[in-house]
Structure 1
Amino acid sequence: MQANKRKGIYLLPNLLTTAGLFSGFYAVVMSMNNHFESAAIAIFVAMIFDGLDGRVARMTNTQSDFGAEYDSMADMVSFGMAPALVAYNFGLAELGKIGWLAAFVYVACAALRLARFNTQVGIADNRFFQGLASPAAAALVAGMVWVGIDYDIDGNEYGIIVAIVTGISGLLMVSNFKYNSFKTIDLHGKVPFVAILVVMLVFIVVATAPSLVLFIVFLLYAVAGPVNTFRSVEKVTLEDVIGETAEDADFEGASEDNVEAADKNATSSNNTVDKDTADNKDKDSKKEK
């Protein structure tokens, strides 16, 4: 008699996911109280927890379907709703309809981005992201808000700029631009000693002006997608920018169904031809007799 498997969920990775979810919720609450610096930092903290939960799950062999779904729901809050509401409270509220529409565009694109990512698990190229990843888009919006607070910029006076950055960040998430995922970096291998010095230098640079440095880094990353795409193709088409491509799960599934249907039709046609040929041979043999 086999022992019944113990039901439950893995604690450690889901605990990290919960911490990221809490950071996103905390960012929303802080923005409602006009503490925009704390709100922006909370979104960056959520990014750290989001990067840790997946790696910890793989390292400890605690992956599960529940964990994947829970992580997706947490990402929608931390990198979908939270950045949009922080940007809205910071500089979009006084724009009226334009303001909340820009925030909604970001939220809707984040939801579409996460849904498309979930359908491509296992079939997409791990070296690249199709469209700007939601944490990077959230970092771009949060970095903009953080820079505004550090340099005493009133978001309401530059509401149009806030709306443009928020809207473009959302549209980049649903684009077909390819972004490096950095998932192929070997963290277990050895590196030269100078690499540690470079890491230390990076920390020093970030510490000097964290808001400005992080905003510039993610701004350059967001621009790198279109630049790499335009440089890698000879002729840019609509599918290179947005729309359905061969890498989309629904498109690939439809193609496989069409191929299977064509194979079945070809097989049935061949069987019919073989049967007709056999009948004709029988008739000829009877005539000869």
Structure 2
Amino acid sequence: MNDPIPRNHLDDEDDLEGPAPTRPRRKGIYILPNLFTLAALFGGFFAIVMAMNGRFDQAAIGIFCAMVLDSLDGRVARMTNTQSAFGEQMDSLSDMVSFGAAPALIVYEWALKGLGKMGWIAAFVYCSGAALRLARFNTNIGVVDKRFFQGLPSPAAAALVVGLIWVMDDVGFRPAGQGDWLTWLAFGLTLYSGLTMVTNVPFYSFKDVSFKRSVPFIVIVAIALGIAVITLHPPLVLFGVFMVYGLSGYAVYGFKRAKGRPVSVIATSTDEPDEEGLHR
């Protein structure tokens, strides 16, 4: 009769097999930053619904509210250490609706419809420009100088388009149809905004502004005065501010060209970009 296998030998085989595999733990979704993103998405959806009902002033307000909420979700995620890949993808999809599709549909309903094919082509150029800009931003995020955006950011482009609508609607001007000066103004501004989003023109990002540092008292006074100026006439002041910003990139581009300095915001390596490491 064969001797039974020693117990310690069986134990060694069990040890070699190792512990039973455990199911990977399902990752949850952070509520707080995604609430801001969903609220921004609702602002874009609300704007579309208002435009379909001819309430263009309310549509513009919806886009500007989405802009404020969109600027907060990322900061809230960083402050609360709740960044996630899900949040990044959700933010991009929300931006495409609120600052890509919604402004294109609003300006088409407001002015471009009377231009026929040229109208919807201009609206599509804007919408596709927003999609391309967001895709490029997501893929180049690791090699772009954080002080500047590569092309006009989509929220600012949306502010240009709906800002014009808000100002004109507030003073009682509405496009009369094909050939009207206001129709062509909206047509030109829509194309400008859409094409500027996909250029390499640098626009200041304000990302190097830290809210954790102490500032002189005069800075707080200046912020209070800025809020007071905006409340004087929100449509005109906000549109003016974003018009200046929408032109500032070309001014920076021309200034850098004149000085012989690098004008691209793309670095030559994946290291932290600096002025010496940028393409000309």
Q: TM-score, normalised on structure 2?
A: 0.83
1:198-217 mapped onto 2 (5 Å cutoff): 198-217=222-241
User: Residue in 1 aligned with 2:34?
Assistant: 14
Which structure is higher in helix share? 1
User: Residue in 1 aligned with 2:123?
Assistant: 103
Task: Quote the Cα distance in structure 2 between the aligned partners of 1:149 and 1:36.
Answer: 7
1:163-242 mapped onto 2 (5 Å cutoff): 163-234=187-258
Task: Quote the Cα distance in structure 2 between the aligned partners of 1:90 and 1:126.
Answer: 36
Secondary structure (helix, strand or coil) at the match of 1:129 reads strand
1:205-284 mapped onto 2 (5 Å cutoff): 205-234=229-258, 247=266
User: 1:117 is matched by which residue type in structure 2?
Assistant: F
Q: Deviations over 1:12-47 (max 9, x none)?
A: 111110100010011001000000000000000000
Give the counterpart of 1:73 among 93, 98, 102.
Answer: 93
Secondary structure (helix, strand or coil) at the match of 2:152 reads coil
The alignment status of 1:141 with 2:165, answered yes or no, reads no
Residue 191 of structure 1: CA displacement?
A: 1.2
The alignment status of 1:38 with 2:38, answered yes or no, reads no
Secondary structure (helix, strand or coil) at the match of 1:155 reads coil
Task: Quote the Cα distance in structure 1 between the aligned partners of 2:125 and 2:229.
Answer: 33
User: 2:120 is matched by which residue type in structure 1?
Assistant: W
Secondary structure (helix, strand or coil) at the match of 2:242 reads helix
Q: Deviations over 1:80-113 (max 9, x none)?
A: 0011111111111111111111100000100000
User: 1:170 is matched by which residue type in structure 2?
Assistant: G
Q: 1:246 to 1:49 in 2, by over 3 A?
A: closer
Q: 1:62 to 1:227 in 2, by over 3 A?
A: same
Q: Deviations over 1:192-230 (max 9, x none)?
A: 112221111111110001100100100010100011101
What is the RMSD computed on CA atoms of the aligned residues?
2.1
Q: TM-score, normalised on structure 1?
A: 0.80
User: Residue in 2 aligned with 1:29?
Assistant: 49
Secondary structure (helix, strand or coil) at the match of 1:179 reads strand
Secondary structure (helix, strand or coil) at the match of 2:149 reads strand
Task: Quote the Cα distance in structure 2 between the aligned partners of 1:3 and 1:172.
Answer: 48
User: Residue in 2 aligned with 1:61?
Assistant: 81
Residue 121 of structure 1: CA displacement?
A: 1.4
Task: Quote the Cα distance in structure 1 between the aligned partners of 2:269 and 2:96.
Answer: 26
Task: Quote the Cα distance in structure 2 between the aligned partners of 1:155 and 1:23.
Answer: 25
The alignment status of 1:127 with 2:147, answered yes or no, reads yes
Residue 246 of structure 1: CA displacement?
A: 8.4
What are the ranges of 5 or more consecutive residues in structure 2 without an aligned counterpart?
1-18, 271-280
User: Residue in 2 aligned with 1:274?
Assistant: none
What are the ranges of 5 or more consecutive residues in structure 1 without an aligned counterpart?
254-289
Over the matched positions of the two proteins, sequence identity in percent amounts to: 51
Task: Quote the Cα distance in structure 1 between the aligned partners of 2:225 and 2:120.
Answer: 40
Cα pair 1:19 1:46 within 8 Å, conserved: yes
